[in-house]
Amino acid sequence: MVYESKKMVTDMGKDSRINLGGHAIGKLKDHWTKFGIVHYHWRCVEIEAENCKRVLQRHDYISSSDTDQEAKVKLAKMFGCSSEDMCNTCGFKKGFDSSHKAVFYLKWLDCPERTKKEYYEKDDVSQGQQNSDVVNAMQRSYERFDL
């Protein structure tokens, strides 16, 4: 784990909880834990696409048995777009729960190379923006837990 915290303290309001996504909501008084939470927002593009797909399945927007093309058709309809050439023709204007996940997943299905390039440009190593501690923690996680 990246950091083992024996005590979890936040100052976020009266009521609180932590969901499995790792987001703290409300206020936690001193709570003792024997587990760690690692919540990565940046990961490899393939894992990000798979995680988006799972979220969309949990919302019942798509089915686990859908082909990529069937998923594109279903999700494109939710945005009021054609499933053809979505990266260049769809404005992704309609919002709904987890619509940002649908946008990423649709772009991944429609123009994977462009999506991959744009995704990694956000963390340009040549500009010194990569966090080496996070990279090392990810490598240890993969080695130890195959995460």
Name the residue with higher pLDDT: 15 or 135. 135
Maximum mean pLDDT: which of 12-26, 53-67, 108-122, 128-142: 53-67
pLDDT tens-digit series, residues 58-94: 999 999 999 999 999 999 999 999 999 999 999 999 9
Name the residue with higher pLDDT: 3 or 91. 91
> For 58-84, b where at least 16 C-beta lie within 10 A, e where not — what string?
eeebbeeebeeeebbebbbebbebebe
Residue 144 has pLDDT above 70, yes or no: yes
Per the prediction, the chain carries an average pLDDT of 76
Name the residue with higher pLDDT: 61 or 48. 61
Q: What is the pLDDT of residue 22?
A: 47
Q: What is the pLDDT of residue 123?
A: 57
User: Which residues fall within 8 angstroms of residue 10, CB to CB, at 6 or more apart?
Assistant: 16, 24, 27, 28
